Amino acid sequence: MTTIIEVDRLSLRYNEVTALDDVSFTLTGGKIYGLLGRNGSGKTSLLSVLAGYRKESGGTVRVGGRPVFDNAEVTSQVCLVRGTGDAASSGIKVADVLTFASYLRESWDSTYAAELVEMFSLPLNKNVGALSHGRRSALGIIIGLASRTPLTMFDESYLGLDAPSRYKFYDALLAEAMSQPRTMIISTHLIEEVSALFEEVLILDEGRLVLHDEAETLRAAGSAVTGDAESVDRFVAGLRVLGEKRLGRTKSAMVYGELDEDRRAEARAAGLDLGPLALQDLFVHLTEPTGDRS
Amino acid sequence: MTTMVRRWPLLRVLLSAHLAFTAMLWALFMVVVLVITGILAATAGISESIQHYATTQAPRWLLFGLGIDVVSTYLRLHLAHGRTRRNFLGQSIGYTFVISGFAAALITVGYLVERLVYAMFGWTQRLPRKAMFDAADEYPMMLATFWLTFLLWTVAGLVIGLGFFRSTGLGLLTIPVGLMIVLPTFIPTRDGGLPFVGEELTGLDVAPGVVLAACAGLYLLAVGIVWAIVRDVPMKSTAP
């Protein structure tokens, strides 16, 4: 099955609340996509519709050219792990969660799941409800990775993990993407930590898609100007500055907009370093309340 | 992978989770019944089936609870693994027949165990209250009575569980619907056991065919309600 994802004029409403409004995009598949947005921007709602957890209120959602909702041919190829995962109920032992996954998910890879259980040191005989938040997150990640579905989505699934475990997850995700190419969508708040994984980025704000582009293009859409604070201030005067950081006399300013060769030469002459734009700064800029946006 | 796993994965999950649990509770139940029987034999003497008092009351609540658990625990798991709501309907219906039949068989075996114990000590296993079976050794009728009863209590649990899965408001509305579904089971067991409602049904003298037809009609109604609720039910996020 191809995992081309076509979303056209999608809307989702809960009673009086509009969670998604006129969202349209196409993902060609086979990549790692980053889905970014502030709290309440509609990320979980969008992923829930893509996984068939919720029915769209309007518009269309197609995966591999077919509608998703309650369509076994599509949903069997899709796995969404929201938070610590819906497939890990608190009344069940970890071992049973994995056994039930092998019954219910045809593409389940038990050998790979066992490797991940060892990697995250999960106790198989413990009840899910007795696990720490971090270990429940690890269990959700195992369910997502070992599902080996052509479309796998993680919605803030690893927030409970400590830093070493998060890095284990990123390594496993990359290794999996290389050995078993599939489409992965990762929704996160830890943008800087994960952004290196993203090949394309979608940003939602207040239920609307405000940006969809390749990560490299976005990083090239601006520059990080670093150097002596006074030199940086002089250089960025008149440019659109998305954010600034300062440590002693050293300052880093994120500027939006491409710098031509003359400006780059000017920066070099002033002893300033030019680096790629941080996605997090671009994200903050794009999702600022309209009145505050420069 | 076996055909059972491929074609009925949720049923396999549910049965592996609930069959052993039900059998364990039944064994515990039998131990308690036999201990009470022993105490009564030593103090007041035995002249009737002790377990009959309990079997028409407590086990149906277990089946009702299992029906709720099918939704509260396993619907989420089912959908999370890419299975459909339509598939859930078919497999949960199969589950209600299997689990209620299994529980009814255990209860029937319980009467048989009790009969053997009574025979050893020369006691009489008389029914203190007639049900659709008149004597404690009418095993086929006994099995049918409990199967029918448990079937309706399990599907009532499904209906109410789904109501609350969808929303608290709908959940509250499904409580009287669930009660309506189980009311006919008071006739074959001759035991109401609920406050305010149903006691008048226990005295009705209704032909088994009529009871069966009423129960079948209500079961079908319950399945219709289950489908109406589950067919587009959203799976809401749970914290965290």
Domain ranges of chain A: 5-215, 222-276
Residue found by looking up tokens 């006739």 in the block: B187
B13, A100: Cβ pair inside 8 Å?
A: yes
Give B-chain residues touching A48 at CB under 8 angstroms.
234-235, 237
CB A22 within 8 Å of CB A269: no
Amino acid at A239: L
Beta-carbon contacts of residue B234 (< 8 Å; ≥ 6 apart): A48, A53, A54, A55, B166
B231, A82: Cβ pair inside 8 Å?
A: no
Amino acid at A233: D
Nearest to A50 by CA among A71, A21, A31: A71
CB B95 within 8 Å of CB B15: yes
Query: Above 80 in pLDDT, residue A2?
Result: no
What is the CATH code of the structural domain delimited by A222-276?
Answer: 3.30.70.2020
CB A148 within 8 Å of CB A108: yes
Give B-chain residues touching A100 at CB under 8 angstroms.
13, 77, 81
Domains A5-215 and A222-276 share a fold: no
Candidate CATH numbers 1.10.630.10, 3.40.50.300, 2.40.160.20, 3.40.80.10; the one for domain A5-215: 3.40.50.300
The chain B residue lying nearest A103, using CA atoms, is B9
Token digits of residue B143:
């099995």
Query: Above 70 in pLDDT, residue A100?
Result: yes
Q: Which of A37-51, A58-72, B196-210 is predicted least confidently?
A: B196-210
Reported as type and span, the H/E element at residue A219 is helix A215-219
CB B149 within 8 Å of CB B193: no
Kindly give the pairing relationship between strand A66-67 and strand A32-37: unpaired
Confidence band for A79, pLDDT divided at 50, 70 and 90? very high
Mutate to test the interface with B, among A97, A104, A132 (most CBs of B within 10 A): A104
Residue found by looking up tokens 């139940």 in the block: B29
First to last CA, chain A: 44
A48, B237: Cβ pair inside 8 Å?
A: yes
Is ipTM > 0.90 here?
A: no
Confidence band for A159, pLDDT divided at 50, 70 and 90? confident
Task: List C-alpha distances in Å: B14 to A92, A96, A180, A193.
Answer: 12, 11, 31, 40
Residues of chain B scoring pLDDT < 70: 1-6, 131, 192-193, 195-199, 201-203, 239-240
Residue found by looking up tokens 């131990």 in the block: B31
CB B148 within 8 Å of CB B188: yes
Specify the pTM: 0.87
